[in-house]
A = this chain, B = another copy of it.
Amino acid sequence: MTPVERAQLAMVLEVTAYPKPGNVDRCHDYEGTRLEHFLASSILARPALEKAAGGEEGIGEVLREAVRLTTAHGGGNTHFGAFILLIPLLRGGDIPGAIRAVQGTTVEDAVNFYQAFSLTKVRMLPGDPLDVADPRALEVILERRMTLLDVMDHSKEHDMVAREWVNGFSLTRKAADLLHECGCGRKGVVDAFLRLLAASTDTFIVKEHGPLVAEEVRRRAGEILDGMGDLAAFDADCIARGINPGSIADIIIGAIYIALGEGWEWDCSRKE
């Protein structure tokens, strides 16, 4: 399996794993964003993933290309956060390589990233001078000579995906270790997802619903791991309230990419 195939497989394995509280999974869609949008995005992103692995174009340019290829459908943002992790991981091959890759980003990468961002409906914090909805954000980047790593550093408090760039992809590493611990296939993905969700506050939920809801989700994931809650009911409640741990899902995608490269087995039937 090539690194690009590992990245594509990571995207389809994450989205089809179930039951996953709140997210699109094999059993649930959101009204505007459905399973098919994620699967199509996994297929259509390939030329950008190849460029990420190839090492020619800048990371920001590749990110813009990935978003351009995958927002042609009507399902809105599907894998934007996942691309922010997968593209440096593909460029570097592994986590140490990805750390070097993000350290090498430039102001041009930051500008391309903002152009990619504006193709999505992902929002930053209101009032943030780098808010993508604010046309002055690009001016700020150019004035301050911010690299893409600087932009991620700016966003790290409020965005756990951006934080991966500045903390050595530590949650990605942790989630890959969880996959190795939790075992093969679909059940391994779901168990690792729940354990990461119980250990970390999802910043996407914080942005959408505030810190109290994010803390509630983290606590309830922990209760399920402790045998004190019903996963199906938790999932149904999250779906009904539109609570979507999307950043944890992004990190799980990066983690599956890493774990597959380390021998984690997606196909339990090969072990039988």
Contact = CB atoms under 8 A, between A and B. Distances in A.
A43 B7 CA distance: 10
Contact of A269 (B32, B39, B42): B32
Contacts of A261: none
Contact of A266 (B36, B42, B266, B272): B36
B73 A36 contact: no
16 contacts: A1-B44, A5-B44, A8-B43, A9-B40, A12-B39, A26-B26, A26-B27, A27-B27, A36-B186, A36-B266, A39-B39, A40-B267, A43-B43, A74-B272, A75-B267, A75-B269
Interface of A: 1, 5, 8-9, 12-13, 16, 26-27, 32, 34-37, 39-40, 42-44, 46, 73-75, 185-186, 266-270, 272
State the copy count for this chain: 2
A252 to B, nearest CB: 15
Given A9-B43, A43-B9, A44-B1, A74 B36 contact: no
Contacts of A42: 43
A154 to B, nearest CB: 33
Nearest to A269: B74
Nearest to A268: B74
Given A42-B43, A270-B73, A36 B16 contact: yes
Given A8-B43, A12-B43, A36 B272 contact: no
Given A9-B43, A12-B43, A267 B186 contact: no
B270 A74 contact: yes
Contacts of A13: 36, 39
Contacts of A74: 267-270, 272
A269 B73 contact: yes
A50 B259 CA distance: 27
A267 B16 contact: no
A75 B267 CA distance: 8
A54 B211 CA distance: 53
Given A36-B13, A36-B186, A267 B43 contact: no
